[in-house]
Amino acid sequence: MIGGGLNAFIGAIHRLAAIMDGRVELVCGCFSSHPEVSFSTGKSLFLPKNRVYMTWQEMIEKEAALPEGERMDFVSIVTPNHVHYGPAMMALENGFHVVLDKPFTFTLEEALKLREKVRESGLLLALTHTYTGYPAVKQARDMVARGMLGKIRKVYVEYPQGWLSEKVEDRGNIQASWRTDPSRSGKAGCMGDIGTHAHHLAEYVTGLRTTEICADLATFVPGRLLDDDGAALLRFDNGATGVLMASQIAAGEENALKIRVYGEKGGLEWAQQEPNSLVLKWLDKPMEVYRTGTGFMHPVAAAHTRTPGGHPEGYLEAFANIYRNFALTLMARLDGADPKPEWLDFPGPDDGVRGMQFIDTVVKAGTSHTSKWVKMG
């Protein structure tokens, strides 16, 4: 692991998700740019001293020099955005597979180079767009793909949070400090952090690709350097239209990600704060509710469900589904076998490039000071 020191929120999430199914073992790490933090983190995780490193460059070089069977198989990169590209590229250059926290890179240019390296190397790269790991989301995707809703006409996706309603980046909040800093986060704040999740969810569930965006971005908290609120109109490649809203100043909200998709025959609705329910609404029959863990779920959704109905599964399990699929695919490759199709269901380099194209396009559209459509991709 690169990043994810003792006080880092997302590093602990990655570690819990990775070990949930017993298919991944943490064997080494450079957990911080501060050596003392890296070593204290490694000690708390019971790693041997010689497998805890001062820099990520040192880690990759020394791991690559170890015999096969002793060195790490893949690296999980859980750093702020500006430290995604370098470690990922070096890992690939040294023959290591990669799991990378989103967004893919700091810039679109880096994203295109990194995707090309993945293709050239033939190595695996997974991008942790967590919300696609929920069984109900996979059920929704399958229903749309099978044409149950008819041709898709309208998509609404929203992700309101309230944790940045005040300037907490000035109060020692580590998560806020780098997410609101253009030198570490990139050109987008709210839209880069959670808008990308909303956009990826919309494309994942519908199977459509955004072609144009018209946006309005805003910064409500005085002195903040990046957007903390925004909305966008979307046009998709089948003629459907959509609305995307992301906000981190929606006071009182937690992580209220929600998507609604409407076709010619009916619509569906899923909310992250009630993740085990998928609501279907029809023109010609009563509403239906599909529940995770029941016998009514499609095999693809059932394959990503761990417990019987009535035993809630949530964020960690969704995160773990990405790691499990990645690990199973990697294990199959190491054994010279073909992975099962459902194991290949994890976001990858193409999704990463789409995310960076979304950020570039929504910032361009949202800072134009005149309402206009900007082509994406």
Architecture of domain 9-123: 3-Layer(aba) Sandwich (3.40)
Q: Which range, of 108-112, 216-220, 367-371, averages the lowest pLDDT?
A: 367-371
**pLDDT per residue as tens digits for the range 230-251:** 999 999 999 999 999 999 999 9
Residues of the chain with CATH 3.30.360.10: 132-307+352-366
Reading the block at residue 223, the tokens are: 């002195």
Q: What is the pLDDT of residue 309?
A: 87
Whole-angstrom CA distances from 174 to 6, 210, 221, 309 are 12, 33, 18, 38
Q: For residue 369, is pLDDT > 80?
A: no
The predicted model gives 310-321 an average pLDDT of 93
DSSP state of 131: G
Coil, strand, or helix at residue 216? strand
**pLDDT per residue as tens digits for the range 175-220:** 999 999 999 999 999 999 999 999 999 999 999 999 999 999 999 9
The predicted model gives 102-127 an average pLDDT of 97
Q: What is the pLDDT of residue 275?
A: 96
Q: What is the DSSP string of 226-280?
A: S-SEEEEEEEETTS-EEEEEEES--TT-----EEEEEESSEEEEEETTSTTEEEE
Q: What is the pLDDT of residue 377?
A: 83
Q: What is the pLDDT of residue 346?
A: 97
Give the C-alpha separation, 11 to 37, whole Å: 13
Residues of the chain with CATH 3.40.50.720: 9-123
Q: What is the pLDDT of residue 296?
A: 86
The predicted model gives 13-30 an average pLDDT of 97
| Residue 7 pLDDT class (50, 70, 90 cuts) | confident
**What homologous superfamily does CATH list for 132-307+352-366?**
Dihydrodipicolinate Reductase; domain 2 (3.30.360.10)
Q: What is the pLDDT of residue 96?
A: 98
